[in-house]
Amino acid sequence: MIDKSRYDESKPLDMHNLQFDVAAAKLNLEPWIAAKIKQPRRELTVSFPLRYDDGRIELLTGYRVQHNTLRGPGKGGIRFHPQVDLDEVRALAGWMTWKCAVVDIPFGGAKGGVTCDPTTMSLAEKERLTRRYIWEISPIIGPEQDIPAPDVNTDAQVMAWVVDTYSVFKSYTCNSVVTGKPLSIGGSLGRLKATSQGCVYVLAEAARAVGLNLDGCRVVVQGMGNVGYHAAEILHDAGAVVVGMSNVQGGLYNPGGLDPRRVLEHFQVTGDITTYPEAQAVTNQELLELPCEVLIPAALEGQIGRSNAERVQAKIIVEGANGPTSPFADDILYDKGVFVVPDILANAGGVTVSYFEWVQNLQKLFWTEDDVNQKLRDILVRSFGEVHAVARQEKINMRTAAYMLAIGRVAEAKRVRGIFP
């Protein structure tokens, strides 16, 4: 029996380790394999100066953690955020390992980040930051080694600087070093909305599993970044009623429904979503507890925990973010009958289309958007079915089922590869 009191709910790495330990205990793995695949394989910490536009120079710290490379190159995004530290990047890198394994794509897991606040930076400052960070981690990244991608506060433009910096470093153009690039330099159709589209595909499967009709159902989305905004837009267009939306400033509630495009437009014009006229302002915490059928946390980790899980009213939670729900909250939600589609499955659409982008780059052959979405749907529907089957068979929640499948695959890779030297 695992003593859960030893894990601190406020620490993403503790939550990653608890999720791992619960599932690994059910698999009866060789202890050395369990110990090996739980830990990051390689970690790099870099520190470098950033020159701001006003001439000021500040020393910044960045990380790249390769959690696992047994099934293929490391894969995972780059995050620019004040909350980034080594332990957070370790947790995020671990989640990438299990995500790639649960959807069975040939990647390991990695993650990178720089501790900074890019929202206060000019575009030129963000470019210098990106290029210098990539320069610092360039010895350990590469198309066969470790392939970065967008994450919180990084986008296609940042990925374009990654391609350029790495290519200058190598003296030839190498676009397969990163995914989530602009289409003009080898990006994939469908990648921008892939994470959100994937959330919607698995939501459809979850709705079928619990007998919920998505047409006209009430949806709350936390976060208005790439994942949250596009999820709200796709679901609104598909006939769901988006009753709640939020960003870092706060949330909005309108039981009659919000139009995500108009909320975004209001934010772009005024710089403040909380003043949107046709809604009631709520806090991000209140948002999670609004009456709805579907809740999509698509912001940061650590949102649903012991203190608020009981008050969640949704029937289905689809985790667009990484690590939004703690294992303590999972137990409460399971007992309440809330169906949680865990992050490593729910938001795997992003990395799955990253895989398609990488394949297209290596083959120098590009697919249509329909092809991309069809293949994405096939992978997610199959993976959902596999996870759901384990959950029902073992009478466990979807998260532990997903981890059991993922850990089993990574453990098998270690077992057959063996130890060298």
By DSSP bridging, strand 57-68 and strand 42-51 are antiparallel
> Least separation, in Å, of the C-beta of 278 and ligand GLU?
32
DSSP E strand boundaries for 156-271: 218-222, 241-247, 250-253
- Residue with token string 């710089």: 271
Would you count residue 12 as binding ligand GLU (CB under 6 A)? no
Question: Judged by CB, which is closer to ligand GLU: 332, or 351?
Answer: 351
Question: Judged by CB, which is closer to ligand GLU: 347, or 383?
Answer: 347
Between CA 403 and CA 353 the distance in angstroms is 21
Would you count residue 76 as binding ligand GLU (CB under 6 A)? yes
- Binding-site size for ligand GLU (CB under 6 A) equals 11
DSSP E strand boundaries for 202-276: 218-222, 241-247, 250-253
- Closest C-alpha to 341, from 236, 207, 212: 207
Would you count residue 223 as binding ligand GLU (CB under 6 A)? no
- Closest C-alpha to 147, from 74, 96, 205, 243: 74
Window contacting ligand GLU (CB under 6 A); options: 296-304, 306-314, 347-355, 401-409 = 347-355
Would you count residue 77 as binding ligand GLU (CB under 6 A)? yes
> Least separation, in Å, of the C-beta of 241 and ligand GLU?
28
Residue nearest to ligand GLU (CB): 77
- Residue with token string 């397969």: 176
- Binds ligand GLU by CB under 6 A, chosen from 88, 136, 151, 293: 151
Would you count residue 390 as binding ligand GLU (CB under 6 A)? no
Between CA 129 and CA 327 the distance in angstroms is 35
Between CA 334 and CA 329 the distance in angstroms is 8
Between CA 297 and CA 305 the distance in angstroms is 13
- Binds ligand GLU by CB under 6 A, chosen from 149, 203, 317, 401: 149
Residues numbered 167 to 196 that lie near ligand GLU (CB under 6 A) are 179
Question: Judged by CB, which is closer to ligand GLU: 177, or 214?
Answer: 177
Window contacting ligand GLU (CB under 6 A); options: 32-40, 75-83, 121-129, 377-385 = 75-83
Q: Name the amino acid, one letter, at 372.
A: V
Question: Judged by CB, which is closer to ligand GLU: 317, or 344?
Answer: 344
Between CA 11 and CA 67 the distance in angstroms is 17
Catalytic status, residue 181: no
Q: Which two tokens stand for residue 67?
A: 């959690």
- Binds ligand GLU by CB under 6 A, chosen from 162, 350, 398, 411: 350
> Least separation, in Å, of the C-beta of 354 and ligand GLU?
3
Stretch 318-337: interaction string toward ligand GLU, x if CB under 6 A: ----x---------------
Of the residues 38, 75, 99, 111, only one is catalytic, namely 111
Q: Which two tokens stand for residue 357?
A: 């982008």
Between CA 257 and CA 234 the distance in angstroms is 14
DSSP letters for 28-82? T--HHHHHHHHS-SEEEEEEEEEE-TTS-EEEEEEEEEEEE-SSSSEE--EEEET
Would you count residue 351 as binding ligand GLU (CB under 6 A)? yes
> Least separation, in Å, of the C-beta of 262 and ligand GLU?
27
Would you count residue 347 as binding ligand GLU (CB under 6 A)? yes
Window contacting ligand GLU (CB under 6 A); options: 47-55, 73-81, 228-236, 237-245 = 73-81
> Least separation, in Å, of the C-beta of 88 and ligand GLU?
12
Report CA-CA distances (Å) from 181 to 6, 8, 176, 178, 350. Answer: 41, 37, 9, 7, 13
DSSP letters for 121-189? S-HHHHHHHHHHHHHHHGGG-BTTTEE--B-TT--HHHHHHHHHHHHHHHTS--GGG-SS--GGGT--T
Question: Judged by CB, which is closer to ligand GLU: 77, or 260?
Answer: 77
- Binds ligand GLU by CB under 6 A, chosen from 19, 246, 354, 360: 354
Which residues are marked as active site?
111
Residues found near ligand GLU in the complex (CB under 6 A): 75-77, 149, 151, 179, 322, 347, 350-351, 354
